[in-house]
Amino acid sequence: MLGATGGTGRAIVEQARWRGHRVTAFVRSPEKLGSLRDGLTVFQGDPRDAHALRAALPGHDAVLSALGPVGLGPTTLVGDCARSTVTAMRATGVRRLLIVGVAVLFEEDGLLSAMARRRLLREVARDSAEMEHLVSESGLDWTVARSPRLTDGPLTRVYGVADGRMPPGADLTISRADLADFLLDEVEQPAHVRRMVGLAAVSAPARRAS
């Protein structure tokens, strides 16, 4: 797990634990894990360092990444970490990769036609597009969960999922808890391998649109 100290990362670790998975957190600041650390295997390191990742990966079924930059300024974090992760996974034979991306990369009216939003998220989107390029060329069994605005709302398990687009009729938000739920479902029962998946909360029960 990359990004375990973040909002989505914490939700993934907590839910993975409820589901009975064993989790390794690869983090730069283990002290930030707090009580989440109980029962986790923890590696300290820089996720851009392929050699360090390579040491942590053997014995794992999947890599989940909820890494994200601080702020909206120029960044190469997500692309750089995708490069190191792909390198380490290829070297160790771990094939399943699940990464959080950004829904702003869907070219859809209503989501992207908001020019201000595009401009605001330009740097994050550029970095995430680089990540998607590297991952889609990796030959691994990847899934990118392109997410709209993340909230700290509860786990509802009521959200739309669509391949290559945002789910029709969905909101433009999803809770970090529901994003974690999708990623863990996908680890357990892969249904969107080599897909850019749109995820969003839905007001009506229209889950699993694709």
The set of long-range contacts for 71-78, using a CB threshold of 8 Å and a minimum separation of 24, is: 72/120, 72/121, 72/123, 72/124, 73/123, 74/123, 75/123, 75/124, 75/127, 76/127, 76/130, 77/48, 77/127, 78/124, 78/127, 78/128, 78/130, 78/131
* Shortest Å, Cβ 25 to ligand NAP: 9
> Would you count residue 32 as binding ligand NAP (CB under 6 A)?
yes
Of 128, 140, 60, 40, which is closest to residue 95 (Cα–Cα)? 140
> Would you count residue 183 as binding ligand NAP (CB under 6 A)?
no
Pinpoint the alpha helices (H) of 57-95: 77-92
Which CB sits closer to ligand NAP, 70 or 115?
Answer: 70
> Would you count residue 149 as binding ligand NAP (CB under 6 A)?
yes
- Judging by DSSP bridges, how do beta strands 159-163 and 195-201 pair with one another? antiparallel
> Would you count residue 138 as binding ligand NAP (CB under 6 A)?
no
The rounded distance, in Å, linking the Cα atoms of 31 and 37 is: 9
Stretch that binds ligand NAP, among 6-14, 50-58, 180-188, 194-202 (CB under 6 A): 6-14
* Inter-residue contact 133 to 187 (CB < 8 Å): no
Q: Which of 54, 96, 176, 192 binds ligand NAP (CB under 6 A)?
A: 176
Which CB sits closer to ligand NAP, 94 or 111?
Answer: 111
Stretch that binds ligand NAP, among 65-73, 89-97, 135-143, 153-161 (CB under 6 A): 65-73
The rounded distance, in Å, linking the Cα atoms of 56 and 52 is: 7
Amino acid at 182: F
> Would you count residue 111 as binding ligand NAP (CB under 6 A)?
no
* Shortest Å, Cβ 163 to ligand NAP: 18
* Shortest Å, Cβ 209 to ligand NAP: 19
Which CB sits closer to ligand NAP, 35 or 205?
Answer: 35
Task: Tell me which residues touch ligand NAP (CB under 6 A).
Answer: 3, 5-9, 28-29, 32, 47, 66-70, 77-78, 100, 102, 124, 147, 149-150, 176
